[in-house]
Structure 1
Amino acid sequence: MTDRPLPSLFELTSLNPAYRDDPQVLLDDLRERCPAHRDPSSGSLVLSRYADVRGVVNDREMWRDPFRAEEGAILQQRQIAGVDRNLPRTSTTSILLLDDPDHARVRQPLAQALYARVARCRPQVEALVDAALDRLPSDAPFDLMDQFCVPIPIDVIAAILGVDPERLVEFRHWSEGIIQSLNPFRTPEQTTAMEVAAVGLEAYFTETLAARRLEPRDDLITDMVQLQAAGADLSEAELRINLSALLVAGNLTTTDLIGNGVRLLLKHPEELAKLRADPKAVNAVVEEILRYEPPVEITGRLASREMEVGGCPMKPGQAISVLLRSANRDAEAWPDPERFDVSRKHRSHMSFGGGAHICIGAPLARLEAQVALVRLFDRFPNLRLAYPEAAPEWRTLPFFRGLQRLDVVGG
């Protein structure tokens, strides 16, 4: 045994330079020494083993809404600071933090419409990826994050929603601002940017929902107003807030999935060779990227009853933080988990969560990453890191794992 203190939950985020540079050192040590422990800094039970994490995220009786958290759940209390408790909960948050019955009522029609769109949008995604590739230089270093990984998810969701081309600049700006809603440690300046973006998106969706009722189009916003007209129990506020949430939940994480994937494949040429030899293997490639370098590192639940989690007794309202990245590298679940291996036998990773709150945008994220990776390496067969010896520049948004920039050369 060792007397070294356990890291706090906040030390297990990109705000900690040691974690940002090499998260596995801290996570592997924590999982070995104390895979379930109460963290006073966040007021939560922290779980790092695959079996415990999987059990929690798949438990459909667990709560998500921070309003149900006990006072000692510091992270959840921070999430709802300043939120008016007298307003209907569905008018102040999306399905990301709702519990049943409201969660199921709102999610079901949204998922129905979104999944139908995703099922037939591959040509659209391919065209947008090709357009992004056409803009890339072929013989000079460029930042792949800025010029490829960032615009693709925004342009894809804009196309699916039906954003007019002349509004794309505004839409991209709002998308970047609203991402700060995921940052519980944002600065006052970041909070202002988030609030400005939220106002802009609310006005945009209010205007567009009304326009689609008068003049339907072939887009997701029309799908939602038609479902509402057909009897789906959705208010205007619920439509607006959940359409905005598609941006929050999908853009940054898909950007990071693509960026993390390109870097991993360039750092592991033997794995990239497998993709080049068989582009149809891209599904397995994307799943291994998700396991090995997940864009979302942590998620949470609240105990909904007297129960035991990871061997620890829990009471209703007590918070649980599950370390998705740690679960994905647990040697009890994955043989040789530190090896990036796109031929790895499939097993369910935890990168999209699970249960009732499994990521609603997972099918779209997978599709975008699959198309982007295959077409990028096809267009640039000699793609390489511009500065292979340089340390990666990781973003400092807590609970997320993604690159600030990724300099590459195409020719």
Structure 2
Amino acid sequence: MAERALPTVFELTPLNPVYRADPHVLLDDLRARCPVHRDEASGSVVVTRYADVRGMVSDRTLWRDPIRADGKSFLSRSLVGADADPDNRGETTSILLLDDPDHARIRQPLTQALYARVAKFRPEVERIVDEALDRIVPGKPFDLMSAFCVPIPIDVIASILGVDHDRLAEFRVWSEDVIQNLNPFRNEEQTARMEASSAALTEYWTQTIAARKAAPRDDLISDMTRLQAQGAPISDIELRINLGALLVGGNLTTTDLIGNAVRLLLTHPGELAKLRADPGLVSAVVEETLRYEPPVDITGRVASREMEVGGCPVATAESFMFSLRAANRDPEAFEDPHRFDVARKHKPHVAFGGGAHICIGAPLARLEAQVALVRLFDRFPNLRLADPAAEPVWRTLPFFRGLERLEVVA
């Protein structure tokens, strides 16, 4: 009898109903049978084992920029825009996909300014969360995603950046559209919306950066224009691209993190009881959510040399696809990995990637999720699912995992 074919990368997305319902049905089988294999359909070497993934995302000798991938690397090459300039990548893509020296040149001052803001932002996050809670009417079923999980991250990142709060609805739409840039399976309609929203964001950032240079405010945009004036080697185009990436990345995945955490706590009452008894456990709750149900499925690298990974030979310029989700449930790394356990003995997950490219927004995402969870269950101690038997409604955006809706009663 012929051995079952390994699932292709295209089957490892929520566009596949089996994967959408439970990714680990496929990922566990793939990791057990062939933890490193070449997926011809996508032109990627797929890596699913924790030790391999953690080691390789932390390997600073590997390339990140998909423009370096060979012509067979369909998945990676799909991230290279039509305007890509191999000699000036900083002005055609964000730090998410840049290699050094451009990556370090842009990321260092951006990290400096962002982390200084995050360090003093807890009171503002608490205010934003409380305002969202004030709008909830107890006693009636409602969608927690639209009422709570969606508005908080966009409000927070907008406040840090200094964008216009009367345009938050537009920013959310723009973010949803622009993130389709990371969807290699987008259709013509999604592409058209992506291009229109990208143009709208470009116009907004161009005008806003110019305005802050003329009249600085107490916000991250002004921080960055001051650093520019002090000699930080970042062009206006690079600043615009990376502020846009912060806006997009700073709200969609954090929305999913908060939604996933609430659902897990409501479906695991024993774990929720631990949090209620000791709110100081909230950091552990967030980390276990990131391990158990991370918002992002994958990250990638490009081989900078000939190498061998898990017995699989890899040529220079071949593309890697690392399954963060599979690695975070690897039984060789985590005891009983399919158990949601907020008291789990700490072991680093890979939900935020690693190495030079570890998620720049990780401290802010953690802060928002921690504040949101503690204050939500403090305000509504009897919060419950409206229909405990209802199947979760997951979004179908490839390589991300978050809920479309989460119907609850407060």
Aligned to 2:256: 256
Conserved in 2, the CA contact under 8 Å of 1:329 and 1:337?
yes
Alpha-carbon distance between aligned partners in 2 of 1:101 and 1:394, rounded to the nearest angstrom: 38
How high is the TM-score relative to the length of structure 2? 0.98
Aligned residue number for residue 151 of structure 2: 151
* Aligned mates of 1:6, 1:166 — CA distance in 2: 49
User: Once the 2 structures are TM-superposed, how far is the Cα of residue 250 of structure 1 from its aligned partner?
Assistant: 2.1
Alpha-carbon shift at residue 216 of structure 1 (Å): 1.2
Aligned match of 2:80: 80
1:85 is displaced (CA, Å) by 3.5
Q: Are the aligned partners of 1:298 and 1:323 in contact in 2 as well (CA < 8 Å)? A: yes
Answer whether contact 2:85 2:92 (CA < 8 A) is retained: no
User: What is the rounded CA distance, in whole Å, between the counterparts of 1:229 and 1:245 in structure 2?
Assistant: 22
**Residue 284 (structure 2) aligns with:** 284
Alpha-carbon separation, structure 2, partners of 1:406 and 1:178: 24
Is 1:237 aligned to residue 270 of structure 2? no
Task: Provide the rounded CA distance (Å) in 2 between the counterparts of 1:403 and 1:165.
Answer: 25
Which deviates more, 170-179 or 81-90?
A: 81-90
Which residue identity is paired with 2:255?
A: T
Whether contact under 8 Å (1:145, 1:406) holds in the other structure is yes
C-alpha contact (below 8 Å) 1:91/1:237 kept by paired residues? yes
Indicate conservation of the 8 Å contact 1:154/1:175, yes or no: no
- Cα-to-partner distance string for 1:330-373 (whole Å, 9 max, x where unaligned): 11101111110000011100100000100000000000000010
Structure 1 residue identity aligned to 2:111:
A
Tell me the CA shift for residue 247 of structure 1: 2.0
Q: Which moved more, 1:277-286 or 1:248-257?
A: 248-257
CA shift digits 1:156-182 (9 cap, x unpaired)? 000001123333333333223222222
Structure 1 range deviating more: 307-316 or 237-246? 307-316
Q: How far 1:248 sits from its partner (Å)?
A: 2.4
Q: Give yes or no for contact 2:180–2:194 (8 Å, CA) kept in 1.
A: yes
Q: In the alignment, is the contact (CA less than 8 A) between 1:384 and 1:408 conserved in 2?
A: yes
Which sections of structure 2, spanning at least 5 residues, go unmatched?
none
Secondary structure of the structure 2 residue equivalent to 1:320: strand
Q: Secondary structure of the equivalent of 1:15?
A: coil
In the other structure, the counterpart of 1:294 is 294
> Whole-Å Cα distance in 2 between the matches of residues 90 and 132 of structure 1?
37
Taking the aligned partners of 1:82 and 1:162, their CA distance within structure 2 comes to: 30
C-alpha RMSD of matched pairs (Å): 1.3
**1:251 partner letter:** N
The range that moved more, 77-86 or 322-331, is: 77-86
User: Aligned residues: percent identity?
Assistant: 69
For the 8 Å contact 2:141–2:409, the answer to whether it is kept is yes
Residues 88/406 of structure 1: CA separation in 2 closer, same or farther (3 Å cut): same
Deviations 1:295-324 (A, max 9, x none): 001111100112222222222210111111
Equivalent residue runs for 1:205-220 within 5 Å: 205-220=205-220
On the 8 A contact 1:385/1:407 being kept in 2, the answer is yes
Q: Does 1:403 align with 2:392?
A: no
- Contact 1:266–1:384 under 8 Å retained in 2: yes
Q: How does 1:328-343 map to 2 (within 5 A)?
A: 328-343=328-343
Name the residue aligned to 1:393.
393
State the match for 1:366 in structure 2: 366
Distance 1:60 1:151, change over 3 A: same
Contact 1:256–1:403 (8 Å) recurs in 2: yes
**Shift in Å, 1:86:** 6.5
Partner of 2:56: 56
Q: Secondary structure at the match of 2:276?
A: helix
Report the alpha carbon displacement of residue 80 of structure 1 after superposing the two structures with TM.
1.8
> How far 1:2 sits from its partner (Å)?
6.5
Counterpart CA distance in 1 for 2:116 and 2:252 is 22
1:140 equivalenced with 2:140 (yes/no): yes
- Distance in 1 of aligned mates of 2:77 and 2:109: 30
For 1:7, the equivalent position in structure 2 comes to: 7
How far did residue 81 of structure 1 move? 5.2
Q: Any idea what SS the aligned residue of 1:401 has?
A: coil
Q: Is the 8 A contact 1:49 1:327 kept in 2?
A: yes
1:254 shift after superposition: 0.4
State the distance in 2 between where 1:130 and 1:54 align. 37
